[in-house]
Structure 1
Amino acid sequence: MALSDFMVTLADRTMTWVYEKSNGRIGSRLGKMGMLVLHTTGRKSGEKRSHTLQYMPDGDNYVVVASNGGQDRNPGWYHNILSDPHVHIQIGSRQLTALATVAEPEAYSQLWPRLIAQNSVWETYSRRTTRKIPVVILKPLG
């Protein structure tokens, strides 16, 4: 069973609040996984939105998964980056400007097995939903 919207939103907001208030001292790791805060601009509202996400380093880039807890629709932040791919990310206390791109099929096929090896829950989520869970590459700028 997929997590409810309420639970996903509550967990995300709580984790983001703690991460930001502690300047990344609390919340930058979840088990073996690194965590980052992704700052986007709402595509409809124009307001700043923040979400804490697990990430996988890939060279100079950071890779995140638009799993939305296995729900049948993509998370709001994914739609925001499609509208405006210029984002800010916080990793620990570091603040970076980045460009978000959706992994093309070739990159996806290379990244997905590595992501699953790092966190098998994404494979479970992919079986729960009819959508193909997007993989997003965050490329730091400057």
Structure 2
Amino acid sequence: MNFDFVTFNQGVVEEFRKSGGQLKQNGYPLILVTVKGAKTGQPRIYPLMSVPYGEHYLAVASKGGDPKHPLWYHNMLANPDVTVEVGAETYPARARLLSGEERERAFAHAVTIYPPYAEYQEKTTREIPVFVLERQQ
């Protein structure tokens, strides 16, 4: 039986909003990122680990160390203009895929915030992508 991520995520989104953005998963805070679907153009809301990075946030496409990227990765590449919900605040952001040393620094930082990312990287042969979600005015 396959796990239904859509239904699970909908429940997390509802709980996040009911809690005023204070919902935690396994003790770690979350953010919500809304991105347009790459094929449909329809808005999709994804709960992600909250990884503050200066005045921005990181979106780490770990998918728990799965061999494939999460769906939101493809959506973000196609449609980098996103909406971020942190706590009770909502703002527009632009997702920028990091590479090279910049990606390495950001991933190392993400591991200090959410240590399981290191285990996820060990589980997969793909380099886990990292986006910085840059706040837009």
TM-score by shorter chain over 0.5: yes
Match of 1:57 in 2: 52
Greater mean deviation of Cα atoms: 108-117 or 37-46: 108-117
- In structure 2, the gaps of 5 or more residues are none
Contact kept in structure 2, 1:33 and 1:56, CA below 8 Å: no
Alpha-carbon distance in structure 2 between the residues aligned to 1:13 and 1:124: 26
- In structure 1, the gaps of 5 or more residues are none
The CA deviation string for residues 32-56 of structure 1, in whole angstroms up to 9 with x for no partner, is 6331100000011111100110122
RMSD: 2.0
TM-score w.r.t. structure 1 length?
Answer: 0.85
Please tell me whether residue 92 in structure 1 is matched to residue 87 in structure 2: yes
The CA deviation string for residues 45-92 of structure 1, in whole angstroms up to 9 with x for no partner, is 111100110122111111121011221111111100100100001011
Please tell me whether residue 17 in structure 1 is matched to residue 10 in structure 2: no
The CA deviation string for residues 84-119 of structure 1, in whole angstroms up to 9 with x for no partner, is 100001011101100001112121121222211222
The count of residues paired between Structure 1 and Structure 2 equals 137
1:115 to 1:109, Cα distance in 2 relative to 1, 3 A:
same
Quick one: which amino acid aligns to residue 16 of structure 1? V
Give % identity. Answer: 27
Alignment of 1:101-116 (within 5 A): 101-116=96-111
TM-score w.r.t. structure 2 length?
Answer: 0.88
Alpha-carbon distance in structure 2 between the residues aligned to 1:7 and 1:45: 20
